[in-house]
Amino acid sequence: MAVATEREYGLFIAGEFAEPASGEVRDLVEPASGQPLARAAMGGAEDVDRAVEAARAALDGPWAKTPPNERSRLLHALADAIGANRKELAELESRNVGKAISSVKAEIALATEHYRFFASAIASIAGRSNPIGGSLLFYSLKEPVGVCAQIVPWNYPFMMTAWKVAPALGAGCTIVLKPDPQTPLTALRLAELAVEVGFPPGVVNVVPGDGPTTGSHLVTHPGVDKVAFTGSTKTGGEIMRLCSDPIKRLTLELGGKSPNLVFADADLADAIPSAAYSIYYSAGQSCEARSRLLVERSIYDDVVAQFADKAGAIKMGDPLDPETQMGSLISESHRDRVHGFVERGRDAGAEIVTGGEHGDGKGAFYKPTVLAQVESGMEVAQEEIFGPVVTIIPFEDEKDAARIANDTKYGLFATVWTGDPAKGHRLARQIKSGMVGINTPYTAFPGIPFGGYKQSGFGRELGLDTLELYLETKSVLVSTSARPYNPFGL
Ligand code: NAD
């Protein structure tokens, strides 16, 4: 298994595909069809050790001497290579995740822009010098944090990899990336492209494997300087604990239960289809899915009826069909988990207006689902279902809307629909989340900080601030005195 063939992938360590020490290779199936997709090697502790060693050697080797303008050129070259291979990458991702190819194509285009953004953002890396008086000169240096463990989930494998890899490489760090064992393929291909365009071997290493074993070994590895994690809030808590010994720098991008607030003065012709897009994109398997639709009571029944019509009109089917808007879920076991939430929601008093059942035929499909008559305290309004299920909750007025919007442990994203711009801005200040959209469903753009308040994590991705999370600041003090120093007068 020296190279990746169409159907068999090794680990990617020190610039090449490698056999796993354990010999473990798993069969991956397409969740939408149940058909075999590929075989992928899974790394264990020994492989993590090899990858960290390779990342450390690269950090201490030629990569340390690679100047910022060369790092920028390499990141642009990687973006070019992704662009040149976008069809192959899109098909691989779509088949692996079960996600509609139209969505995947948009994600790959965004990821490409993300590499370009950080290729340019490198120019902003700068220390400073400020006067401190006397005969002392001060300046600061920005240095890469070092070897970074980056752990990503299965819902946007290529884009989450881009969000992590681009700023780390921009800052001059080296990487051991651990994708989810179900979805390692496009990250492995990315690592291969990185070497093809000229990144030195060992700068980008990819070791797929299980979280509790391979992942936790990576997080606690003494050769790792920083951990950047995207995943569930529960796992994020565990990662935080693991990062305490030995102490690691840490950023966490975690779960969400984001609200979509629709006021009676909103343009419903915009708000309702956009709200449907905000939950059913990626079959609801998005951290920023607006899974709670909060609707002013005077228009509640009307919005529920119109929203259910839109949900019923979503084109669900073969992920590779360009007309498909919603593919399958990641696996049948995840679909059953989603269905469990819906059943418990119904038992607790929610009304299933549409959906609430598996798709017709084979594959891990679940119909776009609308739960109405939901109260904010119910499990379906509090827990991240991570599927195509919206909960519609009425509110009385602006104050009540803000109260319900803030009534979960999460704080990742919120969208407000109103015809009153001042009201939109007031709510943007009252809602405790890392990002707020006013009269637009869109969320993530290169350059705009993305991240959470509360249990949705800390640290930001996508923005200039993100580079700082991969840099150390070193302060240097210099004497410019003409006379010798003798502060104790000895
Ligand atoms: P998860 O937490 O189960 O797994 C995420 C990753 O962590 C996987 O690679 C997994 O193998 C690994 N992992 C699990 N246990 C580990 C451990 N003990 N040590 C080290 N690694 C471990 O999450 P998931 O179900 O794969 O992904 C969905 C979650 O990700 C949702 O909660 C979603 O909201 C969140 N998410 C957040 C963002 C964001 O930017 N905030 C983006 C995408 C997804």
* Closest atom of ligand 1 relative to the 234 alpha carbon: 2
E strand or H helix at 24: none
Count CB atoms within 10 A of the CB of residue 439: 16
Q: Which residue is closest in CA terms to ligand 1's atom 40?
A: 253
Nearest to 176 by CA among 1, 83, 51: 51
Cα separation, 373 vs 311, in Å, equals: 17
Model pLDDT, residue 117: 98
Strand partners, 450: 461
Instruction: Record the tokens describing residue 90, joined without a space.
Output: 């899109």
Give 231 Cα–ligand 1 centroid separation in angstroms.
2
Regions of the chain where pLDDT drops below 50:
1-5
Q: What is the pLDDT of residues 145-189, one digit of tens each?
A: 999 999 999 999 999 999 999 999 999 999 999 999 999 999 999
Q: Helix, strand, or coil here: 137? A: strand
Q: What type of residue sits at position 197? A: V
Cα separation, 12 vs 16, in Å, equals: 5
Give 358 Cα–ligand 1 centroid separation in angstroms.
24
Q: Which residue is closest in CA terms to ligand 1's atom 30?
A: 231
Q: What is the pLDDT of residues 104-120, one digit of tens each?
A: 999 999 999 999 999 99
Give 218 Cα–ligand 1 centroid separation in angstroms.
15
Phi-psi region at 268: left, alpha or beta (left = phi > 0; alpha = psi -120 to 50): alpha
* Cis amide prior to 246 (ω within 30 degrees): yes
Instruction: Write down the residue that tokens 């595909």 correspond to.
Output: 17
Nearest to 296 by CA among 408, 392, 427: 392
Q: Where are the alpha helices (DSSP H) in 267-331?
A: 268-280, 300-313
Give 153 Cα–ligand 1 centroid separation in angstroms.
5
Give 91 Cα–ligand 1 centroid separation in angstroms.
23
Instruction: Record the tokens describing residue 217, joined without a space.
Output: 């070994």
Best residue among 154, 232, 285, 453 to mutate for probing ligand 1's pocket (most ligand atoms within 8 Å of CB) is 232
* Closest atom of ligand 1 relative to the 386 alpha carbon: 31
Torsion angle of C-alpha atoms 67, 69, 72, 76, degrees rounded to 10: -130
Best residue among 235, 290, 410 to mutate for probing ligand 1's pocket (most ligand atoms within 8 Å of CB) is 235
Burial of 283 (0-12, 13-18, 19+ CB in 10 A): buried
Cα separation, 406 vs 409, in Å, equals: 8
The answer to whether the beta carbons of residues 328 and 319 sit under 8 Å apart is yes
Instruction: Write down the residue that tokens 């796992």 correspond to.
Output: 235
Best residue among 97, 110, 151, 210 to mutate for probing ligand 1's pocket (most ligand atoms within 8 Å of CB) is 151
* Closest atom of ligand 1 relative to the 256 alpha carbon: 34
Q: Phi and psi for 333 in degrees, rounded to 5?
A: -65, -35
Q: What sign does the dihedral 459-463-464-470 (CA atoms) show?
A: positive
- Relative to beta strand 471-479, strand 136-144 is antiparallel
The answer to whether the beta carbons of residues 21 and 187 sit under 8 Å apart is no
Q: Where are the alpha helices (DSSP H) in 413-472?
A: 421-430, 464-468
Strand partners, 349: none
The answer to whether the beta carbons of residues 82 and 112 sit under 8 Å apart is yes
pTM recorded for the entire structure: 0.96
Cβ-proximal residues to 37 (8 Å cutoff; 6+ apart), any chain: 7, 28, 29, 30, 95, 96, 185
